[in-house]
Structure 1
Amino acid sequence: MKRYFINSGLKISTAVLLLLMTLFLLITCLCLKTHNDNLKADYIKSLGAISARVVEKNPEMEKEIIPLITKEVSKEEATRGSVFLKQYGLTESVEDELFPYVNRAIVKNNYSIILIFIIMAAILFTLNYFQYGFFYKRIRSLTFAAKKVVEGDYDIAINENKEGDFSKLAISFNSMRGIIRSNLSDLRREKQFLVELLSDISHQLKTPLSSVILYNDIMLTKQLPSKQREDFLLNNQNQLEKMNWLIKNILKLAKLDAKAIEIVKEKQSLNETLQDAIDALESKAYDAQVVIDFKEKEEIAFKHDRLWLEEALINIIKNGIEHTPCGGTIDLELFENPLYTRITIEDTGEGINEADLPNIFKRFYKAKTSKKSDSIGIGLALSKSIVEAHNGMIEVRSKMEVGTRFIITFVKC
């Protein structure tokens, strides 16, 4: 029962009911006391008149009558008196009208109780009307808000600042409203994402696929020298490898954005993860005559998914290699303090135009000043998604013909 009394409405209604019942008891007792006092006064008059007449007829009876009036009579005297009155038809079963004072008291008591009942019933009915009107008004507001949610209006909220079950219901409703709005918003975003993804895949695959189909048609319909046929086959092989890489990375990016991949984080060496990424690109850096310098100062343990974070780092370093001229360098550095863990990757490449900086992490975005013609523009977008899946953030700073710095920061919880 205690849990129900956390509701302010129930507390108030219970207090009011107890107050009214107490008031009803006090008024009833007061009325009964008044009527009893009146009955006592009437019988004093009646007994006084009888005593005066008896004493007038027989003065010696004065001393015997007064004790009979003021004191309780014995059982024997009461029995004799009942027998005496019975001779004249005065018994307990006789009509009340023959006892005018008793009859008057009974009538007054009945009328008083009925009047008090009517007044208290009217008060209780009025209070009950306002109380339930207040409750149903709150229920109607909740029903109206629920109807609005069904209609797609999620701005309306239920405000309850009092303690109790209605406040809990309002909080639950507002929470449900927020969840529904969030879920529908997520569904809209997923739908838009799917539309954009299909459009991007179609756009990116159209050119290499057309090239493969064209060369295949030529090889099927025409007699070609073996050298030219070999060139066509090599071109097709390059295009197919490009499409294979593109499809794999698009699917990875889509799964990350849709949270369909579980990032398994384990506390392990971040130095080793970064070194593995460097080792994976060692031959590419050698061919491009770019030096990768990892300034390793201390061992840093960080909770992360090695394979995924390594792929993000590979994409960023690979981007630096591709946009750094021969003889350039890529400097990598790890840094940790009580607030965050940070990775910086800085190259001495061609740099990124200031107008392109806000867009470089967008899928399939290619900078207008980029000198690499076969760049697809998906590696950095994938890296950003992986870093954010690790609760990190990535930013870039660049200056044309000077170089570019990528800063990856993981804030400690």
Structure 2
Amino acid sequence: MGKLGKETKKLLLAITIICLVSFLLAVGISFLLTKNFQHELLLHDYGVSGYQLNHEDELQISAFTSLPNENDIERGREALASIGYDETTSMRFLPAVQTYRNQTVLSIFALLVFLFGAIYLSLFLYLQRQHKAFSNAENTIRQFLDGNTTSRIECSQAGDWYSLFHAINEMATILSAHAENQRQTKEFLQDIISDVSHQIKTPLSALKMYHEIIESHKDDAATVSSFTEKSQREIKRMEDVIYTLLKLARLDAGIIQMEKAEENVSILMQDVLERFETWAEREHKTITLSGKEDVILSCDALWVSEAIGNIIKNALEHTETGGHIGVEWSQSPLMTQIEISDDGKGIHPEDLYNIFKRFYRSRLSSDIHGIGLGLPLAKSIVEAHGGTISVTSTPGMGTTFTLNFINLTNE
């Protein structure tokens, strides 16, 4: 069984002491029983002898079958004492007493040996089973501590050990969940820091260069004005990156709680349209809205309008002069659907699976101003509402983004 534990040693020592005390008690009990047998034998012999002396005229068999009285016993005691047979007679001169003593001692010892043998055997099997169970549990715990967070102690049986093992398994599951949350949080922070540092590095380098140019051309008003304007664009770019990343981080961390309310989709789309009308008119592009005016969507209007606005902005950036962008919505008993489509350049098939990744820039795109965060933010907002977003596109024909929202209450 391996090395015995402290508690097991104490248990074995206690049982061994009990065994030794029991054997000592057995010796004492055997001695008492033997003395009592010797006393009864003497009384029997006294009675037989006294009966024979007091009833010489009766049959001798009566001396053994009749119950002796006090006179018979006293007469027999005096007669046998006269020849040296009384309570002081040594046991070694009484074979019957010796035989009784030996048989009594042997019987009691055999009984004790059987009982304690059974106890020791049962204890051995119990401790062996316990040792095996605890060894397996220890190995499993060490595997868990070594990094195998899926290790669990086998506890399919009933009993105190397995109740303890089940509690340990529950604790291991909780610890694994906490560790996984910490790992995800760490990765999340690392990704955010990496994204911010990556996106801020380029504008900062440009600002530094612009500042040096302005410093070296202080007297050239045209140069100063030109590079001041460029600096403002880079600062605006940095603001956009930082604010958008903060929104994504808050959404990913679950900090933002969507304040849902019953919103009229037609009014919501009209509000979004007003933000881009000037841009569209300047570039001779059209944005049209299509859908029933009584469609109601349970959502956070500010966030949903930002998601749809990001998609329309993306469409405007990738649509040629004279292009068209359409926003259409419909509702069924199950869901509310919003489609934003354009007749622009379209998306190359190899980019379709990546457009929702942060900072993704297609090698085929000619866009040099986008930061690659608008569509990921739109996706996060839609998913925070329990919805889905998908995209289909044909290069040279246009692109369609489809937003689906399950019709649930705002609770």
TM-score scaled by length of structure 1 = 0.71
Asked if 1:291 corresponds to 2:287, the answer is yes
Among 236, 257, 261, which residue is 1:268 paired with?
261
Equivalent in the alignment of 2:161: 166
- Contact 1:292/1:329, CA 8 A, preserved across alignment: yes
Deviates more, 1:116-125 or 1:215-224: 215-224
| Cα distance between partner residues in 2 of 1:244 and 1:111 | 100
| More moved, 325-334 vs 115-124 | 325-334
Which residue identity does 1:295 align to in structure 2? G
1:346 paired residue among 340, 348, 362: 340
The 1-side partners of 2:257 and 2:75 are apart by: 108
Partner residue, 1:240: 235
AA matched with 1:284: F
Q: Does 1:218 align with 2:210?
A: no
Hey, what does 1:328 align to over in structure 2?
324
Partner residue of 1:22?
Answer: none
Structure 1 position 411, deviation (Å): 5.7
Q: Which moved more, 1:195-204 or 1:344-353?
A: 195-204
Q: Per-residue deviation at 1:239? A: 1.8
The answer to whether the Cα contact below 8 Å between 1:392 and 1:408 also exists between their aligned partners in 2 is: yes
Mapping for residues 64-143 of structure 1, pairs under 5 Å = 68-69=66-67, 77-78=69-70, 80-87=71-78, 88=80, 101=96, 104-143=99-138
2: CA distance, partners of 1:358 / 1:240: 31
What CA distance in whole angstroms lies between the structure 2 residues aligned with 1:343 and 1:383?
15
Superposed, which structure 2 residues align to 1:52-71 within 5 Å? Answer: 58=56, 60=58, 68-69=66-67
In the TM superposition, residue 286 of structure 1 has moved relative to its aligned partner by 4.3
Where 2:353 maps in the other structure, the secondary structure is helix
Instruction: Determine the C-alpha separation between the residues in 2 that align with 1:384 and 1:92.
Output: 109
The correspondence for 1:397, drawn from 392, 402, 407, is 392
Cα separation, 2, equivalents of 1:377 and 1:191: 23
Aligned residue-pair number = 359
- Kept after mapping to 1: 8 A contact 2:214/2:223: no
Amino acid aligned to 1:296:
K
User: Partner of 1:251: helix, strand, or coil?
Assistant: helix
Q: Give the conservation status (yes or no) of the 8 Å contact 1:328–1:348.
A: yes
1:231 and 2:226 equivalent? yes
Deviates more, 1:108-117 or 1:148-157: 148-157
Q: CA contact under 8 A between 2:268 and 2:301: conserved in structure 1?
A: no
2:143 equivalent to 1:152: no
Per-residue deviation at 1:400? 2.2
3-state DSSP of counterpart to 1:125 = helix
**1:111 Cα deviation from its structure 2 partner:** 1.4
* 1:143-174 Cα distance to aligned partner (Å, 9 max, x none): 12222222223354322221234334444444
RMSD value over aligned CA atoms?
Answer: 4.0
The residue aligned with 1:3 is none
Residues 1:318 and 2:313 aligned together: yes
Q: TM-score, normalised by structure 2?
A: 0.71
After TM superposition, the structure 1 stretch with the greater mean CA deviation from structure 2, 306-315 or 128-137, is 306-315
3-state SS of 1:355 partner: helix
Question: How many angstroms does 1:103 deviate by?
Answer: 5.2
CA distance in 2, matches of 1:308, 1:168: 49
Unmatched 5+ stretches in structure 2: 1-32
Following superposition, the deviation at residue 230 of structure 1 comes to 3.1
Same amino acid, percent of matched pairs = 27
Equivalent residue of 1:394, what SS? strand
Cα distance, 1:181 vs structure 2: 4.4
Q: How far does residue 383 in structure 1 lie from its aligned partner after superposition? A: 2.2
- In 1, Cα distance between the equivalents of 2:248 and 2:319? 26
Per-residue deviation at 1:119?
A: 1.9
